[in-house]
Amino acid sequence: MSSNDLFDNDHHLDDDETNVNATTITTYTQKYHTSSLCKSLNHLHIDILSEFSHHDPTIARINNGSFGSCPASVIEAQKRYQLRFLKQPDDFYFNHFTQSILRSREAVKTLVNAKHVDEISIVDNVTTSAAIVLQHVMWSFFDSKFKPGDTAVMLHYAYPAFKKSVEAYFTRAGGKVIEVKMSYPVSSNDEIVTAFKNALELGKSNNRKVRLAVIDHITSMPSVVIPVKELVKMCRSEKVDCIFVDAANALGSVEVDVQDIGADFYTSNLHKWLFCPPAVAFLHCKDPEASKLHHPVVSHHYGNGIANESSWIGTRDYSAQLVIPEALEFVDRFEGGIDGLAKWNHEKVVEMAEMLVKAWGTKLGTPVDMCSSTAMVGLPACLGIMNDADAMKLRSILRERFKVEVPIYVRQAKDGEVDPVMGYARISHQIYNTDDNYYRFRDAICSLVSSGFTCN
């Protein structure tokens, strides 16, 4: 039996269906016609298919959480900035660039409720924000403000590249890292709060001081919405010197209010869930700290504050950083704006996740209130997913044979547990997704199971 035989009549996708046609458009309109969000779309004549027609139509792309997505109208705005620079770079640099970057910073300032625009820096990625903040922390060791053996606390789930940044700056300077050990699946926020509190206590043992806390707003793999405000408050009460929130997947997916969260530093990408082209992020710094930080790439604005330093780090393509207002214009065309989109995507990803676990006889990795626009879906144990190599093998098969793009997570088993489900898929939902994307994924896994496939 081929994989296509498993699709029912309502959700069949032909292998040679590579072009968007009138039937596809009609199906899409019927599928989403009843939602309040898409009533707004119909009213405003927003053509989702044309905005994302550059996506490969043969792929069930349910992995928005990795690289995001940028609509055609924002891509066109980006091209205009690129051409303005190429047409007369000197005029653009001297007469327009600074004002354009400030325009983006002001847009982000309003969006995340910062007190002042000087608190907002625009950078190319959350990874760059990490380098800025952790370089600042490293110098505190060199200046003898921190002592060798002082600790940093971070989640075991922290993004691997972020862990490497902590190793490069904090550990090499003499600090010790305490990872918050957490089991998976997660059943409640209380589990996370308790584990974090225990890690802070360990970090203070032997007369050490906790100098740095790295808190994810939404972890990457597995995807879990973290009770960030509660953890920041806990760190304040424990007098942690530097509280840094890594929110790479947050803006556009959950509510972000930097004053309410209260961290020293907060950073999020804008190309993942805010429809900007890759790559662009913002870094929020509280006013007293902003003048003390420096960009790791030193250029003309060194010493003029991190926002100015970040605005120009040599000649390169800054167009992704300049189109933030245009991306927000796209967002504001939807009913409820950014909050409406986040609510819609959350509801749809939960609906699709629950459909998948019902079909496979598995379970979600977290309660639905700990999902954002992504959800972790348990995969059938008979697939034999036991390690990262197995996960990559399955992901490649899904991509190449079934045209489904979705990342796979392998959890660590606890001693003596009987739960056989080790592998979880992280599914995302963005406005370009249709239910068929998830039905294809469902039937691909069913096909593999029925054929007796195993990863090992």
Domain contains 29:
yes
**Domain annotation covers residue 455:** no
Distance, in Å, from the CA atom of 290 to the CA atom of 304, rounded to the nearest integer, reads: 10
**Structure token pair of residue 256:** 């972000």
The CATH number assigned to the domain holding 146 equals 3.40.640.10
Residues 28 and 139 in one domain: no
SS3 391: helix
Domain boundary among 313, 330, 347: 330
Residues 199 and 247 in one domain: yes
Q: What is the pLDDT of residue 46?
A: 58
Last residue of a domain, one of 282, 315, 330: 330
pLDDT of residue 456: 83
pLDDT (0 to 100) of residue 10: 37
Q: Looking at the 3D structure of the chain, how many domains does it have?
A: 2
What pLDDT is recorded for position 47? 84
Residues 232, 217 within the same domain: yes
Same domain assignment for residues 265 and 209: yes
State the residue range of the domain holding 291.
76-330
Q: Are residues 306 and 348 in the same domain?
A: no
With residues binned 3-state (H G I as helix, E B as strand, rest as coil), the percentages for the chain, rounded to 5, are: 50, 15, 40
Beta carbons of 340 and 37 less than 8 angstroms apart = yes
Residues 166 and 275 in one domain: yes
pLDDT at 304: 92
- The confidence score (pLDDT) of residue 413 equals 76
Nearest to 118 by CA among 355, 249, 282, 238: 282
Coil vs helix vs strand at 418: coil
Per the CB < 8 A criterion, the answer to whether 269 and 323 are in contact is: no
Listed residues 303, 330, 357: the one ending a domain: 330
Each of the 456 residues of the chain gets a pLDDT tens digit; together they read 333 332 233 333 333 333 333 333 333 333 443 345 554 544 344 588 899 999 999 999 999 999 999 999 999 999 999 999 999 999 999 999 999 999 999 999 999 999 999 999 999 999 999 999 999 999 999 999 999 999 999 999 999 999 999 999 999 999 999 999 988 999 999 999 999 999 999 999 999 999 999 999 999 999 999 999 999 999 999 999 999 999 999 999 999 999 999 999 999 999 999 999 999 999 999 876 666 899 999 999 999 999 999 999 999 999 999 999 999 999 999 999 999 999 999 999 999 999 999 999 999 999 999 999 999 999 999 999 999 999 999 999 999 999 999 999 999 877 666 668 899 999 999 999 999 999 999 999 999 999 999 998
For residue 380, whether the previous peptide bond is cis, meaning omega lies within 30 degrees of 0, is no
Tell me whether residue 96 is in a domain: yes
Read off the tokens for 325. 């207002």
Q: What is the pLDDT of residue 415?
A: 67
Full-model pTM = 0.90
Same domain, 365 and 239: no
What DSSP string describes 110-169? Answer: HHHT-S-GGGEEEES-HHHHHHHHHHHHHHHHHTTSS-TT-EEEEETTS-HHHHHHHIII
Phi-psi region of 403 (alpha: psi -120 to 50; beta: other; left: phi over 0): left
**CA 417 to chain CA centroid, nearest Å:** 31
Phi-psi region of 144 (alpha: psi -120 to 50; beta: other; left: phi over 0): left
Give the model's pLDDT for residue 419: 64
Residue 279 sits in the same domain as residue 148: yes
CB 285 within 8 A of CB 78: no
